[in-house]
A and B are shown apart, each in its own frame.
Chain A
């Protein structure tokens, strides 16, 4: 018992060691930076300004809007990407016929879709979801399709021999082979999805953290810009660590069968 506590403390200390350069840098900024600098306000000012934004009631609605679009878009992309990926991956003809088109869609740099969607859909909430979905679906779909195509035919025959129901085949045969690749697709999609959500908000002024940061920047409130930068960083970090633990749990259930 005491041993585990000590091991944990040591691990925490070792981690804190690695954080030192960052913390020292911020501390030096706080200590030696000019207090009223219009460009480099000290970290305490960032904190105050975020607090101020939160008290004024502008921060949390924006944060919630960004988070909701991110989660809804990514969840839809996971569902559609997985289903279509399986469907396309299982038919080699379909895969060959669709491949160039799909590769073009994936290769298209995501930001150029924002103006396209603005032109076709106008400035509406549906636009946000549509673009996020479009951007994050490709890595998930293509990764799932590739894994589904590499599925061992022998295993499918096994499920037939044992008269597995389709649900059983999916759970016992298909999922173990496809899930790791699917998760890799989601891992690639996550940072893209965050970037695109913020970009849409910046370009269209739809409510969200992106438009809030741009507003602060236009009004030269630099402390708010720094503060929200840190906030977005924390969001990225939290999403990343949640995904890592989900991935670990899922891979324990379906360990990777790829070589």
Chain B
């Protein structure tokens, strides 16, 4: 079994689900139009991953292969519903903004992916760590997306900080670019896909640099042979 440090670093880089699992964020793309909403959805996804991994790991001894997938579905849906209820209780304004996108966390295939590839084979603590790290990786992607889109689209950062951090967050909004700046493409769904595309290209480029001077184009071509979902 891999060490805690490896579990954490692999999860953070979203390595263990394969780079294509980045597609797991697709249902959440529409709402990551600002740093704060990206961060909120990222944190909610992380919590969902930690608790679904934990639960699956605890009951893993009783899960026969035939019932594994429906059991994951039940557990993940329950965890996400609890998060939804708690968010309505403590972060009501945030829930008003995120709305339907909170239940959509269920459709993030990486959550079921982690249950099947990690939690069902490991004890509870490493499973929670794996969920936490993978969630943090997603959080990072969503925050990067939100930051890029908010900066390009509205020229601000940290707008609506009060949704997560309460009244003090109200004053955090930074007007990075001058007043009345707006580039709405970045805020629209196509802008989300373009930003995600550039992020993935950037990641591939970084990977290929690390692999030792390969041409970036080569790395992209190699990746096409990776199956869509490794789990």
The reply to whether chain A is a binding partner of chain B is no
Residues of chain A having any CB pair with chain B under 8 Å: none
Query: Taking beta carbons and an 8 Å cutoff, which residues of B are in contact with A?
Result: none
